[in-house]
Structure 1
């Protein structure tokens, strides 16, 4: 097998600062947009941030249509409804104001209204056909309102595929928003639990991209255009992921537990963007892969701050619940990186045995989870040992991320990790 020798770094143009979301109209005008689809969910649609964004769009005499039916933790059904609206509206630009659910929905709208196709055409194989996006899309402006997903920087769009009760997605560099307007003012009304869950997504983005299979150990593409969006850990992604982890370690507890601490929230928002640049090129691995069936198969659980949605294990929570068991498993792949990652989060690693690297990192993660009131394992969100086989089967097809695990694993390994994740401390 011929191994990869190169990696690429792609990201959106980013503007950061209080009030920067009010420049949406300027950016759309710069791209020549005349009629745009503005996407949000019902909660965000009532905020001053959205009202100001729409005002800025109108100031440039750009026609806009407001779509507020985005589903938190979107499904293939909610994607299709939004896509139909996008196709019928004949828009030449898109604006997403919300968390990853809204930004990912906007990416799908942009893709399928630009290059119409059967829904599974671009969905990652083996669940979908995994066809490459044919070419550039229309302008998309992303304005994140949660401190977590980093979707404003990435070429990934994730949804719950109801048929298999697990998440999957579409991944291609052309999906990336043209501009991310990262505005701390947009996070002022976030509930603490949303900050906690989205913050854990940042944490896991940083940890997974930093510990992912190195790009040079991945099979080389047959031609440059076939190089995947998620390429494995690399020297440039490492810089962004490491800094994101340091910022999470310094700010997440304060951002969650101190409602008036806007500095901590702003730092978490910036950390999300940093981590997005890191994992948006390096990729994630098993914690994300294992999270997809956890989110998709939930039957009753719904945490505070996510009312009116139905049963839900928020994405960041579902990832973090599996992460400690994963890092205990992967620690031997590169003890130095695992120890270093724990240090970024604030753990004391001086004198630690490299054979305990995975355990040290796992403990650093659970220490943070305890301080921000996360459930103590999968059991507390409704799962038990009898669900493990289904969770394993929901993880195995997630090749987009699982192939970047730094160490080979089997279905039996996954089973043990899910069992170990039932109770974390």
Structure 2
């Protein structure tokens, strides 16, 4: 029996009087709530539009909204064994499993095969993904899908594998499309993906790209000698399965390079221009870009990922048995993916694309490939000290907070010194991490390469538009961008 609550005498009367006092003495501030007869009149709407701009008139108005989109994420050691049940729950009959020749022999793929077989899921394996994929390897993978009738995709590997699987999924849904139709403008047409794709589950085996959460796929366009890609929310995986057991086989060099990608993802999205400073406002919400600028939700993910990376990346690289550090780095990569997948990245990534694409012949130690390679995380981090020194004047407080994440005491640092302080913190972090090039010269570049590197960066409008301070106050914006980028590349020749 539930005991009856005894109400003191006159309590109900006092409560009613209190409510009346609140209601009539302090009415709600919104006129629609305080006055049921009040509505937003055309005059009010016109006044609002004069102040904030009309939602459907983007010509001269800044953005006023942001969207958050990310894959569903499952995190936990052993979670890979659930993937067969996931596809059974989806009603999938035949799955395209995408991986590379190395991962195909490792623990993650063993778990995948066992799980799919246990649930009776029919599958075919494509294991020819290339590290830092080129358009030729992407097209080969797309062609492979045309010989099968797949109703779902599974990517098992690093960012190269997940990005390849995204594009296999995309172009199998648009079999008549030209390859450049969806590629980011101005290199491609940048058409929106206007229909849902087949389910894609991503199982990352590196702790870096965060590709399991984003609608972005990056590759080298060989003809242009530059990286580009496709970016749209509909490209993101249906589910990312983040299993720390799958990252334990990473060599130290891969852990370091992948972790540096996390570092720059978080730093760039944290310092990107605010979403409501981006122009133009889209005519249709379908045209709102994935990379929107820093916003209150992405900030939470980005700053958390930055702090986690600073704390755990050196441990993960140093000790392959430090399972706590490995697990935290996988989680940081995913958190950073949610952050930059919505806020975007800027100069480090924009400048990294020609660095990778115009590699003079550098081969990073620890990578088991026969051709020259500058790992993506290395190409991104090598310009970071110069980049954040340059962007700091746009928002000194954010750059100081980032420096604090590296352990810098900022209590007496002046705002005008924010860039220098963060730059020095980055240099020290890279040096202590070990085996990292201390500038572009160690990658084989010199001053004679700068013009070509600048020209390879300028088409990366999708990310350059989010770079604080780029293109401001010049003879023309384009010429000023060239001068600024030239200086940044020159400052990055050696730390």
Q: CA deviation at 1:344?
A: 1.9
Q: Which protein shows a greater Rg?
A: 2
1:269 matched residue in structure 2: 330
For the 8 Å contact 1:207–1:341, the answer to whether it is kept is yes
Alpha-carbon separation, structure 1, partners of 2:310 and 2:150: 41
Q: CA deviation at 1:411?
A: 0.4
Normalized against structure 1, the TM-score is what?
0.98
Alpha-carbon separation, structure 1, partners of 2:286 and 2:377: 31
2:220 matched residue in structure 1: 160
SS at match of 1:119: coil
| Equivalent residue pairs, number | 424
Alpha-carbon separation, structure 1, partners of 2:74 and 2:109: 17
For the 8 Å contact 1:283–1:401, the answer to whether it is kept is yes
For the 8 Å contact 2:464–2:470, the answer to whether it is kept is no
Alpha-carbon separation, structure 1, partners of 2:261 and 2:463: 15
For the 8 Å contact 1:214–1:406, the answer to whether it is kept is no
- Indicate yes or no: 2:495 matched with 1:420: no
**Residue 73 of structure 1, aligned match among 120, 132, 135:** 132
1:25-174 aligned within 5 A = 25-116=84-175, 117-174=177-234
After superposition, what is the alpha-carbon deviation per residue over 1:319-355, rounded to whole angstroms, capped at 9, x for unaligned?
Answer: 0001111111111000000111111232221211111
SS at match of 1:170: strand
SS at match of 1:120: coil
Q: What runs of 5+ residues in structure 2 fail to find an aligned partner?
A: 1-59, 472-480
Alpha-carbon separation, structure 1, partners of 2:370 and 2:79: 30
SS at match of 1:228: coil
For the 8 Å contact 1:12–1:180, the answer to whether it is kept is yes
For the 8 Å contact 1:248–1:345, the answer to whether it is kept is no
- Indicate yes or no: 2:409 matched with 1:348: yes
Alpha-carbon separation, structure 1, partners of 2:139 and 2:407: 43
Alpha-carbon separation, structure 1, partners of 2:406 and 2:308: 8
**Residue 392 of structure 2, aligned match among 331, 334, 352:** 331
Alpha-carbon separation, structure 1, partners of 2:328 and 2:68: 23
- Indicate yes or no: 2:339 matched with 1:278: yes
1:241 matched residue in structure 2: 302
For the 8 Å contact 1:197–1:315, the answer to whether it is kept is yes
1:215 matched residue in structure 2: 275
Greater mean deviation of Cα atoms: 362-371 or 126-135: 362-371
2:22 matched residue in structure 1: none
- Indicate yes or no: 2:90 matched with 1:19: no
Alpha-carbon separation, structure 2, partners of 1:132 and 1:6: 19
For the 8 Å contact 1:72–1:309, the answer to whether it is kept is no
Q: CA deviation at 1:308?
A: 2.1
Q: CA deviation at 1:23?
A: 1.1
Q: CA deviation at 1:88?
A: 2.1
Alpha-carbon separation, structure 2, partners of 1:125 and 1:259: 41
Q: CA deviation at 1:79?
A: 0.3
1:401 matched residue in structure 2: 463
Q: CA deviation at 1:77?
A: 0.3
1:310 matched residue in structure 2: 371
SS at match of 1:65: strand
